[in-house]
Amino acid sequence: QQQVKQSPQSLIVQKGGISIINCAYENTAFDYFPWYQQFPGKGPALLIAIRPDVSEKKEGRFTISFNKSAKQFSLHIMDSQPGDSATYFCAARDSWGKLQFGAGTQVVVTP
Amino acid sequence: GAGVSQSPRYKVAKRGQDVALRCDPISGHVSLFWYQQALGQGPEFLTYFQNEAQLDKSGLPSDRFFAERPEGSVSTLKIQRTQQEDSAVYLCASSRGDARLGYTEAFFGQGTRLTVV
């Protein structure tokens, strides 16, 4: 049973547009919420992460918004570029340190 | 090495065959995780080591799966009597600190793609 639900499954955005990916969780014991980027044939790479006591974190073109009461968080990719085309996974860390991943969102940025 | 190294990159096994997948974590990293990633899905936790101690193996799907890290560095994931449902990418990740004490970034290897025919 997936503990972190991610949507959409895929999205297509034009170059320069905004990509938005949403995740929801149930387990209030999760204490850290990273986003990973994965290219075909590669392992996931950490993109940006947030702790639940922070409502927003921005790093360059990537922003996480976190709503603790709703148990939801989202990734915004601003000014999307073709090089951003990849699969994005949200994740949540439990008290034992292991990550629970969402099912992934395949993002395609068209020129 | 500069990153987490996994070998082999690809493995084709006949059903019933035993396989061994190797992970070389980043030097000095205390924590090591194995994840299984089915096609089109997110990684799913298999097992966790802190140094040589296997502290959590709750994600191993059956007793055919076995992992070890005898000297606290290289780890091997062994699958006995492989079945078709074992076909997946097996990812190894390592992190510097004790994963139970707080988040330290987990660095993933490229994975081993196992295909059972």
Contact at CB, B31 and A44, closer than 8 angstroms: no
User: Structural domains in chain A?
Assistant: 4-110 (2.60.40.10)
pLDDT tens figures, A66-88: 999 999 999 999 999 999 999 99
Q: Are strands A105-110 and A10-14 parallel, antiparallel or unpaired?
A: parallel
Name the domain count of chain B. 1
Contact at CB, A97 and B31, closer than 8 angstroms: yes
All residues of chain B having their beta carbon less than 8 Å from the beta carbon of residue A88 are: none
Average pLDDT value for residue range B101-105: 75
Q: Please report the residues numbered 31 through 90 in chain A whose beta carbons come closer than 8 angstroms to any beta carbon of chain B.
A: 31-32, 34, 36, 41-46, 49, 89
Contact at CB, A44 and B91, closer than 8 angstroms: yes
pLDDT tens figures, B7-34: 999 999 999 999 999 999 999 999 999 9
pLDDT tens figures, B52-79: 999 999 999 999 999 999 999 999 999 9
Q: Which CATH number characterizes residue B45's domain?
A: 2.60.40.10
Contact at CB, A97 and B42, closer than 8 angstroms: no
Cα within 13 Å of Cα(B41), Cβ side: 17
Rg (alpha carbons) of chain A, rounded to whole number: 13
Average pLDDT value for residue range A3-8: 96
